[in-house]
Structure 1
């Protein structure tokens, strides 16, 4: 268990290494978006859309404990990024700018209008931070699930400070899609920090508490960045969850609760229906 704890503490983007959990999601389909196939699941209800983003190279079944209960009553979309699952690979860089643009193209293709409730785990959280900072008018709320910090691979977190076994694990475990995403983390993080601060709408930061028990130098750096993440967003609420980094699978309940609470807070209220007197025909001037 010490190995698993250290791994989760050192780098909040481990989720993608498993690249799929073998589970199932309802309503899975593929669609052509800008000449490429994209695999996704979508539910439609009378709510603002909830959009899920997965961690490093991760398959959308990482959300198999969270997406179905949300999809029962809310519009919700989960998808596989380029090169993952049945989504076609692309030649463009796998940085936040391109990932977000491809996501926006998918949302447009499915006629899902903003604003969105964005929910991102691990590296998916960094992508959605990029989205929120560069397209704030399209975001109703941001929920970060043990998200990658924009400076995750800077300072003591830089790859050259990782133990040899950790670097070896990454080299042998990363898929081609994950390799492309990993190579662009610093660029994405730098662009996030260079953009205007995002804090005009609800931001909830769900942080894994179990890795805090690890005291290695690399874990200390990673956990410090866990603590600092919420400070990047004025007014953000940080909630510590008794979980490891794989929170969507280990402790889905706090994520589900956060999504439901945010939806209840940001969902536009229906306009009251004006009743007419039975004696006043529609369009008639009642003052006459």
Structure 2
């Protein structure tokens, strides 16, 4: 009987070893295939020992710069609107350090470092201001930090369902007021999710991240080609994605130190997903109201602003309702040119 259990143990170990070898080969082949099948759009700009992928199209002034949210799509997040804006002016989308085709950075993904990377990439690529910064989700705070340090270049901004500097602190305050067990459940789910992400990063070399990315359905109406490209680079983007997540609170705190845009024209687009009120818990209703307040607050950061509620869309308005984003960007461009 003892011999049987020993043989079973060796069999399991052997199976694990085979899976690790196969996974490693799968990952290496996947990385090679990604480089061959999905070359970077635009160019790779040297910023001093590292390169940043920058895709600029069209001509004219101001130059529109697209900042993606906290995801692994990089410049591809703007594929549905990029060309249309490029018909009106110079339009640049890029991928942050370690995302898609851009080289990773050893330092933490602090918002100031991200702003400096973008500034260096634009300067070294000889892209001129004035700039109109268009940000989605966490791209909003990143653009505010860029404006804080390089404000002389920034003439206008567009916020596409963006994060708010106070969203973590206000969310925690709401949870503290909640008396039932839901916050504990949410905290437990969050801790478990963080554990899985860290485990995935540690085992990235086994192909597990690539495999899971291939199985995932992405949010927003992405083209098949862009979806395949994002999944092909998922394993190389994943570590930088987690670094941005780890720095999230610092990013929001940094963005919170700069909320005054003067008379720069801005547009704030807020996604509205209709949900019957009876289906929302008391806590979810409070969260929704809190989110609405934060979006309205962003529109107060400039004396020349417009705020639009975008119906029937997911968080990725630029993919679900690209015409709305295109109109908002064009509107800000016109106001910048008129000044």
The TM-score bracket by the shorter chain reads 0.7 to 0.9
- RMSD over equivalenced CA pairs, Å: 2.7
**Per-residue Cα deviation, 1:113-148 (whole angstroms, up to 9, x for no partner):** 222000000011110011223332211101000001
Instruction: Name the one with the larger helix percent.
Output: 2
Query: Alignment partner for residue 178 of structure 1, among 241, 244, 257?
Result: 241
* Contact preservation (8 Å) 1:157, 1:222: no
Larger Rg: 2
In 2, Cα distance between equivalents of 1:130 and 1:88: 21
Counterpart of 1:237 in structure 2 is 306
In 2, Cα distance between equivalents of 1:125 and 1:170: 24
Structure 2 counterparts to residues 92-241 of structure 1, below 5 A: 92-157=107-172, 161=183, 162=186, 164-165=188-189, 168-169=192-193, 172=196, 175-195=238-258, 197-210=260-273, 215-216=280-281, 217=283, 219-220=287-288, 221-241=290-310
Query: Alignment partner for residue 255 of structure 1, among 325, 331, 334?
Result: 325
Equivalenced residue count is: 246
SS in 2 for 1:135: helix
Where do 5+ consecutive residues of structure 2 fail to align?
A: 1-37, 177-182, 199-237
Query: Alignment partner for residue 40 of structure 1, among 50, 54, 63?
Result: 54
TM-score, length basis structure 2: 0.65
Shift of 1:57: 3.2
In 2, Cα distance between equivalents of 1:37 and 1:213: 47
Counterpart of 2:71 in structure 1 is 57
In 2, Cα distance between equivalents of 1:25 and 1:245: 27
* Contact preservation (8 Å) 1:51, 1:76: yes
**Per-residue Cα deviation, 1:204-242 (whole angstroms, up to 9, x for no partner):** 111111167674425334344233332344442111111
Shift of 1:156: 2.1
* Contact preservation (8 Å) 1:145, 1:206: yes
